[in-house]
Chain A
C-alpha cells in the first residue's frame, strides 16, 4: 500500500448532481494530482495541487474543480454530473520543493463513480 487513501470507495449519483471526492496524501507529501480513468483506458490527468494552489490542469471543463488543504489532503468536486463522468477517480501524491523532487507518484485505490 502507498499510504494514500481515498473516500468513498464507491458512489452512485444521478445526472446533474454534484459530487465531492476526498484524498488523503501519503505522509510528507505536499503535492496531489487527480486522474480520471474510464473503463479500459489509462488514467487521464485532471489537475494538480501544490501548496494549496492549482499547479497544472488537463483537458477537463471548469465543472471539475479541486481544493488542497493545509494538511495536504485534497478534494475533487464535479458539478452538473454527466453520464460520461462515470469512471474511477484516482489521486496521487508526491513531494516536491525548489531543491528536490520525488519523481514517483503514489496512487490511492480510487473512487468508483457511477452516474445514472
Chain B
C-alpha cells in the first residue's frame, strides 16, 4: 500500500480557500485517492475520491496531476465548522473485497474567525 505524506497542521481564516496537498510517490496503478474528514469525538467522514485529473462535489475538489504522485484537496471558502483533521488515503478498490482504509496522521486544519 502506498504511503502518504501530508502536513501535520494548517491554519486558515474564514472565507479563504484551503488547499491540502498529499504526497504518495509509490501509488500503484490500481490505487485510488480518498479524503476523509474527522471532527473531535466523531468518526471520519468521506469527503471525496478520485483516480486522476479533477473531481468536484458539493463539499470539495480533488486535483490529481498526471503522474498521480500527489493530490490536493481544495476546500472553497472555509468556515469555522471546517476545523477538523483531514486524512489522505491511497488504496486499491478491489472488485469483491472492500479495501481496508490505511490512515496516516492527517492534517489538522484550524480555521480562525
Contacts and interface: CB of A to CB of B under 8 A. Distances in A.
B93 interface: yes
Interface in B30-88: 32, 34, 41-46, 49, 87
Contact of B43 (A31, A48, A98, A109): A109
B29 interface: no
Interface stretch (A12-20, A35-43, A63-71, A73-81): A35-43
Given A105-B46, A110-B43, A48 B103 contact: no
Interface of A: 2, 4, 31, 33, 35, 40-45, 48, 50, 55-56, 58, 88, 90, 92, 94, 96, 98, 101, 103-110, 112
B87 A42 contact: yes
Interface of B: 32, 34, 41-46, 49, 87, 93, 95-98, 100-106
Contacts of B100: 33, 45, 48, 56, 58
A38 to B, nearest CB: 10
A42 B98 contact: no
Nearest to A100: B95
